[in-house]
Structure 1
Amino acid sequence: MLGNPKRLMILRALREAELCVCDLAHLLGLSVAATSQQLRILRGQGWLRMRSAGKMVYYRWNDESPLPALNAAVRGMCVETADEPD
């Protein structure tokens, strides 16, 4: 599940902010359809939440994720990234 680098990028991005599918697709360099497929997998595991606003679909990190270890791991990845020089 987490061996896919694109899924890890999604989790990392959504840990920081709520994003729409099109923004995530741009960030990942994938089509909207391919991004939606990855989001569907992560949401099915309970790691993400989504909301619709008209035709737009937004995803965010599920703070009540069923895996506390995942929450801690992604939080750690975000801290490591913040410490890296630009």
Structure 2
Amino acid sequence: MEELLKQIIDKLNTLDDKITNIESGQTRIEKKLDVIYDHTADLTEFRASTNGYLSEISKDVGFIKHKLHQNEEEIFDIKTYIKLAK
């Protein structure tokens, strides 16, 4: 009977150790998950701000292309005028 009780206690101690290891692993997983959430939030914020900057740059490039076209038309007109004046 004593031997059986000792075996039961040993099994309980083994189970207790395994539960402790599982709890420890769960804590590590939760910490890693928190880090992933933080990084995801940072990346989402970075993406939003980057999209804003890209939109602004796209608008600026469009304006520059428009002004370049206007300048080329004016240069063409000036060249034509100079040819007529000669």
TM-score w.r.t. length of structure 1: 0.23
Q: Which has the higher helix share?
A: 2
Q: Which has the higher strand share?
A: 1
TM-score w.r.t. length of structure 2: 0.23
Rg comparison, structure with higher value = 2
